[in-house]
Chains A and B, each alone.
Chain A
């Protein structure tokens, strides 16, 4: 049992305790959300959850935050039609769930049918955090969504493109079957080959060779199809990939061996060739699987945003709809604290809007009737009524997102190191075989000419070369993913070595992206922590939240004491006020200071007694990281949409050169900057960085990214830890180092084989030894090398 000062459910420190309503017990919670989960679990006899979590979870769960979302739009027929699959009077829907983190989550989610009897089946995919739920056809989806949220897993529906999904599953099945058949053939061919090498002769040898030949057919006609396809498609694009020499060796070797079987000759290479195909297929499958962790870009574009809009109906009532279903000319009502659902023109009301998503500006902008507000920004102060102008794709945010997609498509493809080498490799082998062939022809040794050239082609097949890169990348990607660095394109790791310029966004990347108290100035020697806490804790304003967070963190004892506050009022746009012990207190923003900080004042009977300085402060490790990067000879740039003063302050704090600092940058400015800066890595978190991220050689989206589609950038950092930038760069370097070392190994083996082949020493037995030996050397080198990688990462 948790100690008294910790929440029974989430184990966080309790600030204001919430007790179980009906019983006298020492079980306390940090918030209503956690209490609700606990009660649901008790009621449904699902308390095994806690026992499981104790045993398996490495991290504590987060406190349950209930948004109070009603998810009503989930019951709209229009939604059902688009997002669910209906068959046999059941309904299937897929949600992405937040906060999935351990076995206990899995257990609880799969118990969903016991909690809600309309749920027939629920299946969680841990690596993607998605759950497939089967329901009765007339079940209310909104109710299930609410239940998921009250269990602490806010759900986001995902539209499944049925055909795409089925296609992907079929591809996976085919891959697995190919590997299995390759393994089956290889294993049996090797049994036969061993018998022959061990000395089986005469009719036994002949009989075994014929079986091997038949076992080799599935390899060459079925398992190797992906290699033919890749080799052919890259040839069509006038490229030479590593698959081409593999295919050449396979086809030549296969035909050569076939004739040998027919003519009772000994040059039979079925065992080496099939083993090679099996190893290559396996390593590529593993790489593919390690990239598929997490949601894919195609799934993200269908991600259903949770943006709720309140539509004013003709009879002046409000209807809750999802932002996706808004149309131009609809009238919407926007509550303070809500995200604005569409580009709109304000008809009624004045307020302040936080534009940081679009511009990077932290300081709220005043807005009044007639002015325009944009989708994705946040209404801070007061209710607004507005007329919708653009929605979805046409909105400013939508345009940015389509520009992002455009950026991805335009980007030049990175050619992997192996494919670069493959080009010279193929050329080299081709020239050599030509010379060898002509040499023996001139000498009049026609049989030797054929046999030696063919063994040359087979033995130089770059199997180790093809094997090493996928394996090294698979291991590196998996290790980085454990640290919260999710890489969608494996070539990013090779690319990190070309990076010279690192470009940072300010808000949310180097800073926290929200106001924090940086200075507390007491003017009459007494603290008013509790008074301020009581006043601010009732307000929804973001600044109020920053102040209460600060007080909770540092002056917990003071604010726990009870205090009688009367006559509380909050004047929108100005601040809260109230009376304590006959003194009248009010909190106001103090205007027009020269520096970029925001200043809040507490007035006691109209006398200023406390000043609170707030600012969007730097992340604690920002300075050290920038310094380390500078020591590693990277050029650091700061590119922000925020105003001159705040940007310059951050730049000087971080010692970024003034000529490398740019302020008031629009998304397009950022894009232009990236375009003319080669070898760049860009880090950002807002939609205003999204275009630049997609054009940068490496775009890194940082945790907290407002729009989920940013997760589709080539690198996504799932933690706020800036240390991960260094991890990414260092492991990129080391991965390339391992790949290079492996390339040298495999080229050495190939040269050895080459010399032996020309001299005529290579027979099937020698090939059967040399080829697997080179593969295993490379494997061992990869495993040893990546072990070092893990030590460096921690």
Chain B
């Protein structure tokens, strides 16, 4: 039982870190639009495609 003496406060500290990160991300505006990102994740990444590659593929 004595281990609780250590683990529960540890859990508390961990949770404190997470809540700090969450508040930070809220303030950054990450949760301002909750609908659009749900569509965006369906889009493929295009970063590695250069414009020329695109041209060759689609035309």
Binding partners A and B = yes
A207 and B19 in contact (CB under 8 A), knowing A169-B29, A172-B31?
no
Residue of A48, A124, A176 touching B26 (CB-CB under 8 A): A176
Residues of A within 8 A of B59 (CB): 42
Instruction: Report yes or no: A188 in contact with B11, Cβ–Cβ below 8 A.
Output: yes
Instruction: Report yes or no: B22 in contact with A195, Cβ–Cβ below 8 A.
Output: no
Residues of A within 8 A of B47 (CB): none
Residue of A124, A169, A204 touching B5 (CB-CB under 8 A): A204
A723 CB within 8 Å of chain B: no
CA distance A211 to B42 in the complex (A): 44
Instruction: Report yes or no: B42 in contact with A103, Cβ–Cβ below 8 A.
Output: yes
CA distance A413 to B14 in the complex (A): 46
CA distance A712 to B35 in the complex (A): 22
Instruction: Report yes or no: B1 in contact with A103, Cβ–Cβ below 8 A.
Output: no
A787 CB within 8 Å of chain B: no
A200 and B32 in contact (CB under 8 A), knowing A45-B55, A180-B19, A188-B12?
no
Residues of A within 8 A of B23 (CB): 177, 180
**Secondary structure class of chain B's binding surface, majority of residues:** helix
Residues of A within 8 A of B42 (CB): 55-56, 103
CA distance A106 to B39 in the complex (A): 8
Residues of B within 8 A of A191 (CB): 8, 11
CA distance A188 to B11 in the complex (A): 8
Closest to B55 in A: A45
Residues of B within 8 A of A180 (CB): 19, 22-23, 26
Closest to B22 in A: A180
Residues of B within 8 A of A177 (CB): 22-23, 26
B45 CB within 8 Å of chain A: no
B35 to chain A, nearest CB (A): 4
Instruction: Report yes or no: A106 in contact with B15, Cβ–Cβ below 8 A.
Output: no
Residues of B within 8 A of A207 (CB): 5
A333 to chain B, nearest CB (A): 42
Instruction: Report yes or no: B35 in contact with A127, Cβ–Cβ below 8 A.
Output: yes
B10 to chain A, nearest CB (A): 11
Instruction: Report yes or no: B27 in contact with A173, Cβ–Cβ below 8 A.
Output: yes
Closest to B39 in A: A103
Residues of B within 8 A of A107 (CB): 43
Instruction: Report yes or no: A103 in contact with B31, Cβ–Cβ below 8 A.
Output: no
Interfacial residues of chain A within 299-356, with CB under 8 A of chain B in the complex: none
Interfacial residues of chain A within 40-78, with CB under 8 A of chain B in the complex: 42, 45, 47-48, 52, 55-56
Residue of B4, B32, B33, B35 touching A204 (CB-CB under 8 A): B4
B58 CB within 8 Å of chain A: yes
Instruction: Report yes or no: A192 in contact with B8, Cβ–Cβ below 8 A.
Output: yes
One digit per residue, 1 when the CB lies within 8 angstroms of any chain B CB and 0 when it does not, for chain A 156-189 equals 0000000000000100110011001100100110
Interfacial residues of chain A within 84-113, with CB under 8 A of chain B in the complex: 103, 106-107
CA distance A144 to B5 in the complex (A): 63
**Secondary structure class of chain A's binding surface, majority of residues:** helix
One digit per residue, 1 when the CB lies within 8 angstroms of any chain A CB and 0 when it does not, for chain B 31-50 equals 11111100110110000000
Residues of A within 8 A of B58 (CB): 45, 47-48
CA distance A158 to B38 in the complex (A): 25
Residues of B within 8 A of A208 (CB): 4, 8
Residues of A within 8 A of B26 (CB): 173, 176-177, 180
CA distance A200 to B2 in the complex (A): 9
Residue of A45, A125, A127, A188 touching B15 (CB-CB under 8 A): A188
A565 CB within 8 Å of chain B: no
Closest to B51 in A: A45
One digit per residue, 1 when the CB lies within 8 angstroms of any chain B CB and 0 when it does not, for chain A 474-492 equals 0000000000000000000
A790 CB within 8 Å of chain B: no
CA distance A187 to B16 in the complex (A): 11
CA distance A181 to B23 in the complex (A): 9
A289 and B34 in contact (CB under 8 A), knowing A126-B39, A191-B8?
yes
Instruction: Report yes or no: A181 in contact with B19, Cβ–Cβ below 8 A.
Output: yes
A199 to chain B, nearest CB (A): 8
CA distance A180 to B18 in the complex (A): 10
Instruction: Report yes or no: A200 in contact with B4, Cβ–Cβ below 8 A.
Output: yes
B8 to chain A, nearest CB (A): 6
Residues of B within 8 A of A176 (CB): 26, 31
Instruction: Report yes or no: B31 in contact with A200, Cβ–Cβ below 8 A.
Output: no
Instruction: Report yes or no: A124 in contact with B36, Cβ–Cβ below 8 A.
Output: yes
Closest to B41 in A: A103
One digit per residue, 1 when the CB lies within 8 angstroms of any chain B CB and 0 when it does not, for chain A 220-256 equals 0000000000000000000000000000000000000
Instruction: Report yes or no: A125 in contact with B19, Cβ–Cβ below 8 A.
Output: no
Instruction: Report yes or no: B36 in contact with A127, Cβ–Cβ below 8 A.
Output: yes
Instruction: Report yes or no: B8 in contact with A195, Cβ–Cβ below 8 A.
Output: yes
B39 to chain A, nearest CB (A): 5
Closest to A176 in B: B26
CA distance A172 to B18 in the complex (A): 19
Closest to B52 in A: A45
B50 to chain A, nearest CB (A): 11
CA distance A103 to B36 in the complex (A): 9
Closest to B58 in A: A47
Residues of A within 8 A of B4 (CB): 195, 200, 204, 208
Interfacial residues of chain A within 270-298, with CB under 8 A of chain B in the complex: 289
One digit per residue, 1 when the CB lies within 8 angstroms of any chain B CB and 0 when it does not, for chain A 751-791 equals 00000000000000000000000000000000000000000
Closest to A48 in B: B58
Instruction: Report yes or no: B5 in contact with A106, Cβ–Cβ below 8 A.
Output: no
Residues of B within 8 A of A289 (CB): 34
B13 to chain A, nearest CB (A): 10
A751 to chain B, nearest CB (A): 36
Closest to A174 in B: B26
CA distance A195 to B11 in the complex (A): 13
A99 to chain B, nearest CB (A): 16
CA distance A181 to B55 in the complex (A): 50
CA distance A177 to B15 in the complex (A): 14
Residues of B within 8 A of A200 (CB): 1, 4
A103 and B51 in contact (CB under 8 A), knowing A48-B58, A125-B35, A176-B26?
no
Residues of A within 8 A of B8 (CB): 188, 191-192, 195, 208, 211
CA distance A487 to B36 in the complex (A): 21
Residues of A within 8 A of B31 (CB): 172-173, 176
Closest to A47 in B: B58
Closest to A107 in B: B43
Instruction: Report yes or no: A125 in contact with B33, Cβ–Cβ below 8 A.
Output: yes
Residue of B27, B39, B54 touching A45 (CB-CB under 8 A): B54
Closest to A215 in B: B12
Residues of B within 8 A of A56 (CB): 39, 42
CA distance A192 to B23 in the complex (A): 24
One digit per residue, 1 when the CB lies within 8 angstroms of any chain B CB and 0 when it does not, for chain A 618-653 equals 000000000000000000000000000000000000
CA distance A181 to B4 in the complex (A): 23
CA distance A425 to B8 in the complex (A): 39
**Which of A's residues lie within 8 Å of B, judged by CB?**
42, 45, 47-48, 52, 55-56, 103, 106-107, 124-127, 169, 172-173, 176-177, 180-181, 184, 187-188, 191-192, 195, 199-200, 204, 207-208, 211, 215, 289
Given contacts A56-B39, A126-B36, list 20 more A-B pairs with CB under 8 A: A55-B42, A106-B39, A106-B43, A125-B36, A126-B39, A127-B35, A127-B36, A169-B29, A173-B26, A176-B26, A177-B22, A177-B23, A180-B26, A188-B11, A192-B8, A200-B4, A204-B2, A204-B5, A208-B8, A211-B9
- What are 12 of the A-B contact pairs (CB < 8 Å)? A56-B39, A56-B42, A103-B39, A106-B40, A125-B36, A169-B32, A180-B23, A184-B16, A184-B19, A195-B4, A208-B4, A289-B34
- For the complex of A and B, the 9 pairs showing the least CB-CB separation, nearest first, are A127-B35, A126-B36, A184-B19, A47-B58, A103-B39, A176-B26, A126-B35, A180-B22, A173-B26
